[in-house]
Structure 1
Amino acid sequence: MKKTFKIYAVIFIVVMVILALLEVNKKETVSWRKNFNINEKSPFGLFVFNNEAKHLFKNNLKRTEETPYDYYSKRKKDPHNIIVIEKDLDNQSWKKILEQVSNGSDAMILISNTPKDISDSIGYHSSDISFAEENMLKLTDKQYQNDFIKLDKFPSGRGFSYIKPQVEVLGKTVEKDNSDQANFIKTKFGKGTIYVHSEPLFLTNYYLLKPGSLKYAQDIFSYLKDRETIWFVENDTKVSRFFMRFILSNPALKYAWWVFLGGLVLFIFFNAKRKQRIVPVLEPLRNTSVDFVKSIGNLYLQEGNFHDMMAKKAQYFLNKIRMDLLIDTRNLDAEFANKLHLKTGKPIEMIDEAIALIKKGQDPYASVMKEDLVRMNKLLDEILI
């Protein structure tokens, strides 16, 4: 094994160990993402509310990760309470919720933005009502007028820009430089009641852990009746932040990863024993026959002995005819020309012209020009093709 290969293997192992140690010892950074996850302990998770919910609803709370559409399609329920906290729902699920409310259930919807067709059917329009960095949430009921919560971290500024006459305002957003805007409403829908709050941020860990903030949350949910409550939560599986979480979470990729590492170790182990020197490349001996022929040809051209070159070309041609075509070349007569014509398929006129030039080259007293040599060479090459 070469020394450089050993160095690369050691570097690879060291890097993998360092990455593993860094991942194990990595300090958690504060995430201010509004995730509303019941298992998240980050500022805008719902870990604290999830733990307090069993006391808030007197152990009569049921959580489900199913969508309202799937949940109510499988079972029939007596009138109950419904809670939705910043959850993405399709229109079919919203319609299922409205159907349950119409039959006598009450729904507490804490969400910053609902589909327009749903909000229109309930009786309000939602929009951005504030762009301030801080605001205060208050309730309009006199018995709760001393309970409020101050939002000083990334409030959404959502509220209700239009409310139909039959909708009752239960809470508002209060700011120094702006007029009060509704953020918590109530409306009758069939036999039940719908409560909508446009700022669910007050339920997150950051705000519930502040002194006095829990009382505001208790006031909000006090509007619900004391009965079974269904909370539609997001998938509560905590997402790993490990840099290989995608590979390790997929069984096929996980096994492929371990096979890759095992194969790499085996490769290093066996390669260390079986690595051999590179076999040197030996250049084959060069065929110099063509170069020799070119040199001889150039010599004849320089001497200008075209007659001798025609004689040698004729001799080579006739020998080729005897060996390859098995034609007797002692008499270059009409019979010879006809046999050559039949075996090569070349025109008889071309063959007759070639025979005449061959005879001229064989005649030691004939006068030969360069043009005769070129013409004969061309004819004989075409006949042998």
Structure 2
Amino acid sequence: MKRIIRYRLLIIWLVALTGLAASCGSGAKRLNKRVTFWRTDKIPYGTYYAYEQLQQLFPDASVLINKRSPDRYKTFSLKNKEEEEEAYNNYDDQKTNYIIISNQVIPDDDEIAAILGMVARGQHVFISALRISETLLDSLHLKTAFYTSAYNTDDSLTISVNNPVTNDSVSYTYPGYALDNYFVEVDSSITSILGKDKYGRPNFVQFNYEGGGSLYIHLAPTAFTNFFLLHKNNKTYYDNVLSYLPKNSDVVRWDEYFRYHTKGNDSGSGGKGKGLFGAGSWLSKQPGLARAMWLLLILMLIIYLFESKRKQRIIPVIQPLKNASVDFVKTIGRLYFQRHDNKNLALKMTVHFQDYVRSRYGIRASLSDPEFEKRLAWKTGYNVNNLKNLLYYMNMLQDEYSVSDEALLELNSKLEHFYKHA
């Protein structure tokens, strides 16, 4: 019996070593489709190139990273109140360009008042995001077609901007995610339209204030990603858009505060993206090694289960409670309703989808593997575009810091359509 167990363990280890060698030896590169808008990311949808070009566009300005709220009172501490007060006053005295490029910009009421106050005092604020606070838009008499453009997964983007010198409109395009939005309501008496989408609908506007400041709202943030700017001559779009900001500014502040703060949430990222397999870890940048490590962990788990099966005690049979399934569903429903943890619920819905595909169609579910998408579409006969949209949407929600009720309902609708028609 012991000889048979040793033989099985030897086979398992040989399979593990073979998988490790195959994974590490694979030199195939795949396009990283994660949309981060992060200044340190050199992936297609990061903003490393846009950030690095700021110094060339504003040669006389200091480029700084902003990690504090625009509301001065939100960031003051009792110990350093005098120092922070002095820093705030110096910040106000300087000619500043404040640039925010993020997945979402959802300030609370005090932060909105602080942003508008900065502009009224002569500062210049540029905001480009997939989703912008409706309260901020309402204060500017703006209304967008969609509350977020994260669902617009078209595989190309065409936009135009007015040249700040000649006022000629120049169009730019690239073969990547669109993720753009447009304005359906604009108050022409206070708004200047600087850019449009491919259908001629405004997506970039300017507001000038009597104090000399200006506020810019832009609805196509993918135009600042590495993929877009390095495609053909699209760098000119970047130059034209940011040339509306004054070049004689003393400071250019690249914002990181709104990346993790939504309506006054000061919890930050909470270590998001860190750890061994997190999005920001070194191992995540080595896909072959990461797959091999997961394979080793799974094999170790199998070995543990084989060994523990021979030694575990007999588990007594516990009679289930009457109508246990209904009680369980009610309990879980109340739990999620009280906690309102949409992100956790979205992750569990994704895991349930993966388990359903694995058990029903015998396909190992990997949302980021394009071969999985092709196999699942072939086996189920489900519409390829709908399936592609569903997989991208689940991937996108995993990267979101929080999931709104509308986004959760949208995910449920897509999953129900798949279960019904697949």
TM value normalised by structure 1:
0.55
Map of 1:109-188 to 2, 5 A cutoff?
A: 109-128=127-146, 134-139=157-162, 141=164, 143-145=166-168, 147-164=170-187, 165-175=189-199, 180-188=200-208
Q: 2: CA distance between counterparts of 1:150 and 1:247?
A: 32
Map of 1:99-110 to 2, 5 A cutoff?
A: 99-110=117-128
Deviations 1:300-349, CA, capped at 9 Å, x for gaps: xxxxxxxxxxxxxxxxxxxxxxxxxxxxxxxxxxxxxxxxxxxxxxxxxx
CA shift in 2, pair 1:69/1:238, >3 Å: same
Q: 2: CA distance between counterparts of 1:131 and 1:17?
A: 39
Deviations 1:76-123, CA, capped at 9 Å, x for gaps: 122421110024344234443233223321101112321111111123
Q: 2: CA distance between counterparts of 1:70 and 1:108?
A: 19
CA shift in 2, pair 1:190/1:218, >3 Å: same
- Please tell me the residue identity of whatever aligns with 2:191: V
Quote how far apart the aligned CAs of 1:231 are. 0.8
Deviations 1:356-377, CA, capped at 9 Å, x for gaps: xxxxxxxxxxxxxxxxxxxxxx
Q: 1: CA distance between counterparts of 2:238 and 2:281?
A: 41
- Please tell me the residue identity of whatever aligns with 2:9: A
**SS of residue in 1 equivalent to 2:5:** helix
- Structure 2 alignment gaps of length 5 or more: 77-83, 261-268, 284-292, 308-422
- Please tell me the residue identity of whatever aligns with 1:185: V
- Please tell me the residue identity of whatever aligns with 1:181: R
Map of 1:204-243 to 2, 5 A cutoff?
A: 204-225=225-246, 226-227=248-249, 228-233=251-256, 234=259, 239=273
Q: 1: CA distance between counterparts of 2:35 and 2:236?
A: 22
Q: 1: CA distance between counterparts of 2:279 and 2:194?
A: 45
CA shift in 2, pair 1:183/1:153, >3 Å: same
TM value normalised by structure 2:
0.50
Query: When the two structures are aligned, how many residues end up with a matched partner?
Result: 252
| 1:47 aligns to 2:45 (yes or no) | no
1:82 maps to which residue? 98
Quote how far apart the aligned CAs of 1:126 are. 1.4
1:64 and 1:232 in contact (8 A); partners too: yes
1:110 and 1:200 in contact (8 A); partners too: yes
Quote how far apart the aligned CAs of 1:232 are. 0.9
Deviations 1:127-146, CA, capped at 9 Å, x for gaps: 25999755332316561526
1:137 and 1:148 in contact (8 A); partners too: yes
1:376 maps to which residue? none
Quote how far apart the aligned CAs of 1:70 are. 7.8
2:30 maps to which residue? 29
CA shift in 2, pair 1:71/1:183, >3 Å: farther
**SS of residue in 2 equivalent to 1:99:** helix
CA shift in 2, pair 1:211/1:127, >3 Å: same
Map of 1:266-305 to 2, 5 A cutoff?
A: none
1:49 and 1:203 in contact (8 A); partners too: yes
Q: 1: CA distance between counterparts of 2:207 and 2:281?
A: 48
- Please tell me the residue identity of whatever aligns with 1:61: V
- Structure 1 alignment gaps of length 5 or more: 250-256, 272-385
CA shift in 2, pair 1:159/1:188, >3 Å: same
**SS of residue in 2 equivalent to 1:210:** coil
1:63 maps to which residue? 65
Deviations 1:63-84, CA, capped at 9 Å, x for gaps: 2344545897344122421110
| 1:91 aligns to 2:110 (yes or no) | no
1:194 maps to which residue? 215
Larger Rg: 1
